[in-house]
Amino acid sequence: MKDIAKLDPKNYTKLYLNGEYVAAKSTDTYSLKNPKDNSLVVENIPIAGAEDVEAAVKYAEAAYRGEWGKFTALQRTECFHRLVALLEDQLIPVLTLDSLTSGNPTSLIPTREKNYIKNSLLYYAGWTDKQKGDYYPADDGFVKLVCHEPLGVCAAINPYNAPVALLIVKAAACLATGNVLIVKPSEKTPLGSLAVAPLFEQAGFPKGVLQVVTGAGSTGALLAEHMRIRKISFTGSIATGKKVQEMAAKSNLKRVTLELGGKSPAVVFEDANLDNALTWTINAILARSGQVCVAASRVYVQKGIAEEFVKRYVEKMRAAAGDLGDPQDVSVKLGPLVDESQFERVKGMVERGKNEAELVVGGVQYGSTGCYMEPTVFLNPKADAEILRNEIFGPVSILKTFETEEEVLRMANDTEYGLMSGVFTRDVSRALRVASLLDSGVVGINCVSYLSMQVPFGGRKQSGIGREAGEYALREYTEPKTILINMAA
C-alpha cells in the first residue's frame, strides 16, 4: 500500500488538467481547515477561472475526438478493471486525505466507501459493450435504426459529503458510454478528488478523459454556462441546483441531472420488527453525522408502539454521542460536521427548533472544540416547524406519532422533497400499498437510506430530475440517433 504520509495536502494545490497537475491561471485561492479542531490543513487551493475552465474543455474535446474516441468497448472495460485494481491499494490513502477536510471517519473506508466505489466501477465495466439500439422493419418502405451515441464533454459538480465516491459513480456511467468528464468537487472537500484523478491515466484512460478543477460556486457557474459542455450532473442544494439548471438553459440547453437532497420519511407501523426498524432509522440519521441526502430525518411511529419505540430510539441516539471523536482515528464511528459554517447552520436550526417541538436528546455542541454536534431528537413538532419542513443536513431527527395509514401518508408526502422514504411493517400488502403511495424516487421496505448500483437513484418534486446509477444513468449520458434507410432507392 502506498504510504499514507506521502499524500500531503500541500501536494494538491493545483488543478488536474490533461493528465498533469498545473498551476491555475486564476490567482484567487482559499484555505481549508480540519473540522475536528478547526486547524489549518492547507492554503492556496485555486479557484479556477474562465481561462482554466476553457483549458479543461479544450483538453476534454481533444481527448474525445482523439484516442479515447477510437477505444473499443473492451478497451474501456479493461481500463475500468485496471482502475479497480489500482484502487485496491490507493483508496485508503486517498480517502484518508479527504477525511482531513470532510470530517468523514476513516473507519468507513475499508467497508462502506471501498465497496461502494469498487462495485460502481465493476458494474459499469460490464455495460461498455451493451449499448444496444433498435431495428424497425421497412413496413413503410424505410428501415429504421436507432443507436445511442455519447454526448461529448460532460461536467460533474459534486457535494462535500462523499466527493470521491460521487466522482467515481458519475465518471463510471459517463466514461462507460464513451464521454469525457470535467469534475468540480465541493470547495470544502477537493483533496481526495485531486489525488484520485491520476489513477485514471495509470489505468489506461487517455489524458484529458477525466480532469479536476477546484473552486467555489463561481467555478461551477462557468461549467454550467459553458457553450461546449453538453451535460452537467449536479449534486447539492435545491437553491444551487435551480441556478445550475437556469444557466444550462440560458447557455446551450445542455442536459442536466440534478440530485438536490431530501427530507426522507420513515414510517414505522405497529406490526414492524422494532429491532430492525430501530437499526435502520438510527443508522440512517447518523451516517456521516447526518450529512447524507437520503438520511431518514423524519420518523413517523404508529401510536400503539410509540412509547416503546421513542424510548429505545432516544436511548440509542444518546448513546451515539459516545461514538463521536477524531475522524482520523480508525476506531471512531462518528465525526464532526464539515466546517464552521455548516455547524453554525445546524446549530441555528436546532436552537429555533426548541420553540417548535419537544427536544428529547442532544441539541448541543459536543466538546469544546471542532464542529461536533450531539445526535439530536425532537418529538412531535408543529406542522409548520422549520426542522420538520427543511433539510437540516446534520445528526438531527424528528419523531412524530400517527394513528392511521391515510394520516401518515398525508404527512409523509407533505413536502417539496421526494428523494427517499421507508416503510416498516410485516404486512406485505400494506408494505406494497404504502410504497406505491409514498411520493419519492426510492422507497425501502423494512429498510431506508440504502442505495444499490443496479437500480436508478434520484428524486421527485424538488429533490431533482434525472437519475444516477443503474442502466437508467447510461441514457443520461447518451443521445438517441435515428437512421432512416430508403429501401426503394
- pLDDT tens string 217-239: 999 999 999 999 999 999 999 99
293 is catalytic: yes
What's the pLDDT at 104? 94
Q: Which three cell numbers stand for residue 346?
A: 445546524
The chain-wide mean pLDDT, for the chain, equals 95
Catalytic residue among 293, 374, 391, 447: 293
Higher pLDDT, 1 or 216: 216
What's the pLDDT at 145? 98
Task: Show the domains of the chain with their CATH numbers.
Answer: 4-260+463-481 (3.40.605.10), 265-452 (3.40.309.10)
430-463 pLDDT per residue, tens:
999 999 999 999 999 999 999 999 999 999 999 9
Q: Which residues contact 167 (CB under 8 A, 6 or more apart)?
A: 156, 158, 183, 185, 193, 196
Looking at the predicted structure, is the pLDDT value of residue 360 above 50? yes
As a whole number, mean pLDDT of residues 351-376 equals 95
As a whole number, mean pLDDT of residues 91-112 equals 92
Question: pTM (2 decimals)?
Answer: 0.95
As a whole number, mean pLDDT of residues 59-67 equals 98
What's the pLDDT at 1? 36
Strands 255-259 and 464-465: antiparallel
Looking at the predicted structure, is the pLDDT value of residue 4 above 90? no
96 half-sphere exposure, CB direction, 13 A CA radius: 17
154 is catalytic: no
C-alpha 431/C-alpha 271 separation (Å) is 11
Catalytic residue among 187, 201, 259, 468: 259
Sheet strands (E) in 180-313:
180-184, 210-212, 231-235, 255-259, 265-268, 298-302
